């Protein structure tokens, strides 16, 4: 299909766009974001079905669902509460899913390896509970369970597409447990990559807030000492930052709402 990381990042971006869009996006508008990728009709169908699920486009920018109350004991924000409701509804939906025994799932894998892409949707459903269990193992690493589930499902979808039409991976050569382990590793890898990215973004945001605070305090101190608003050069010397970086930061101080949108 295309590079897995690029695809997963794009599908997350499209999910965010759909979540914040004032109106409902058409299938043509959704697929337009994937126009540079070589997708067949079945892959396009899977993407549309995946993004049509409200649970898959839940917000990825709110506090942990497991931490709906703040550290000071106060109730968490409305977004966290809504996310908890979404997760509860998702769990209820999972309890209603049709179950398959090992022989039935193995037959689906055989059809997948033979190139029957239409079974990808069924296998994705079969794996929903397994993805949930894998995601639970990573929830203590500061990312929301809903987001980990979403990333795991995307990674699974990618791996199923990669395995479709690969007879060398068929049940003749691989046991049920080997196939399941392969898919589990794909899910775990997708979740782990997301957590790394998520934590990196949080660290960057924390560093940015720290620099903005430093500049603000430096400006106050220099103004008190000199009786005038400090120049960029004076602030640069005081904070040991380059004038270029400082100029960008000063713009953020002047327009805090715009800077938050960029995070």
Q: What is the mean pLDDT of residues 90-100?
A: 87
Same domain, 211 and 191: no
Same domain, 179 and 233: no
How many angstroms separate the most distant Cα atoms in the chain? 82
Q: φ and ψ at 69, to 5 degrees?
A: -105, 145
Q: Which of 162, 197, 232 is the last residue of a domain?
A: 197
Q: In Å, how far are 1, 19, 72, 198 from 81, measured between CA atoms?
A: 37, 17, 17, 21
Same domain, 15 and 132: yes
Same domain, 9 and 65: yes
- Between 22-31, 34-43, 59-68, the lowest mean confidence (pLDDT) is in 59-68
pLDDT digits (tens, 9 = 90+) for 152-209: 999 999 999 999 988 776 655 688 999 999 999 999 999 988 888 877 766 666 667 7
* Residue 75 pLDDT: 38
Same domain, 177 and 220: no
- Whole-number CA gyration radius for the chain: 23
* Residue 66 pLDDT: 40
Same domain, 93 and 135: yes
Q: In Å, how far are 126, 136, 202 from 192, measured between CA atoms?
A: 22, 12, 15
Provide the CA 240 distance to its chain's centre, in angstroms.
35
* Residue 76 pLDDT: 40
* Residue 189 pLDDT: 92
pLDDT digits (tens, 9 = 90+) for 48-85: 877 776 556 554 343 433 443 443 434 344 444 555 67
Q: What is the mean pLDDT of residues 246-258?
A: 63
Q: Which of 197, 231, 248 is the last residue of a domain?
A: 197
Same domain, 191 and 153: yes
Cα 19 to Cα 115: distance, rounded to the nearest angstrom: 33
* Residue 156 pLDDT: 94
Is residue 109's pLDDT more than 80?
A: yes
Nearest Cα to 221, choosing from 239, 205, 204, 207? 239
Same domain, 150 and 255: no
| Contacts of 173 by beta carbon, 8 Å cutoff, 6+ apart | none
Same domain, 148 and 132: yes
Q: What is the mean pLDDT of residues 225-233?
A: 85
Count how many domains the chain has.
2
Cα 75 to Cα 128: distance, rounded to the nearest angstrom: 30
Same domain, 71 and 116: yes
Which tokens sit at 164? 């479709």
Is residue 233's pLDDT more than 70?
A: yes
What is the domain range of residue 117? 4-197
DSSP assignment of 23-35: SPPPHHHHHHTTT
Same domain, 29 and 121: yes
Same domain, 229 and 183: no
* Portion of the chain with pLDDT greater than 90, in percent: 24
Is residue 5's pLDDT more than 80?
A: no
Average pLDDT of the chain is: 76
Q: Which of 163, 179, 197 is the last residue of a domain?
A: 197
The CATH number of residue 246's host domain is: 1.10.10
Q: In Å, how far are 4, 244, 249, 253 from 228, measured between CA atoms?
A: 54, 22, 20, 18
Residue 46 and residue 157 in contact, taking contact as beta carbons nearer than 8 Å: yes
* Residue 184 pLDDT: 95
* Residue 177 pLDDT: 92
């Amino acid at each position: 299909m295309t590079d897995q990381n690029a695809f997963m990042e794009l599908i997350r971006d499209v999910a965010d766009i759909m979540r914040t869009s004032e109106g409902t996006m058409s299938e043509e508008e959704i697929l337009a974001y994937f126009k540079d990728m070589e997708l067949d009709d079945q892959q396009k169908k899977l993407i549309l079905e995946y993004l049509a699920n409200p649970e898959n486009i839940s917000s990825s920018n709110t506090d942990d669902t497991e931490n709906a109350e703040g550290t000071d004991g106060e109730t968490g924000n409305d977004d966290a509460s809504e996310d908890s409701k979404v997760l509860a509804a998702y769990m209820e939906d999972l309890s209603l899913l049709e179950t398959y025994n090992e022989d039935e799932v193995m037959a689906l894998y055989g059809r997948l390896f033979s190139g029957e892409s239409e079974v990808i949707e069924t296998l994705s459903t079969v794996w929903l509970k397994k993805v949930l269990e894998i995601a639970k193992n990573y929830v203590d690493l500061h990312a929301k369970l809903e987001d980990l589930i979403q990333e795991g499902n995307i990674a699974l979808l990618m791996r199923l597409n990669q395995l479709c039409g690969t007879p060398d991976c068929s049940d003749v050569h691989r046991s049920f447990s080997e196939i399941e382990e392969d898919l589990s590793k794909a899910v775990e890898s997708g979740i782990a990559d997301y957590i790394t990215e998520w934590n990196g973004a949080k660290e960057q945001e924390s560093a940015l807030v720290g620099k903005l605070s430093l500049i603000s305090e430096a400006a106050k101190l220099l103004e008190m000492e000199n009786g005038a608003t400090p120049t960029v050069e004076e602030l640069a010397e005081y904070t040991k930052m380059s004038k270029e970086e400082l100029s960008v930061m000063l713009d953020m101080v002047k327009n805090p709402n715009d800077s938050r949108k960029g995070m």
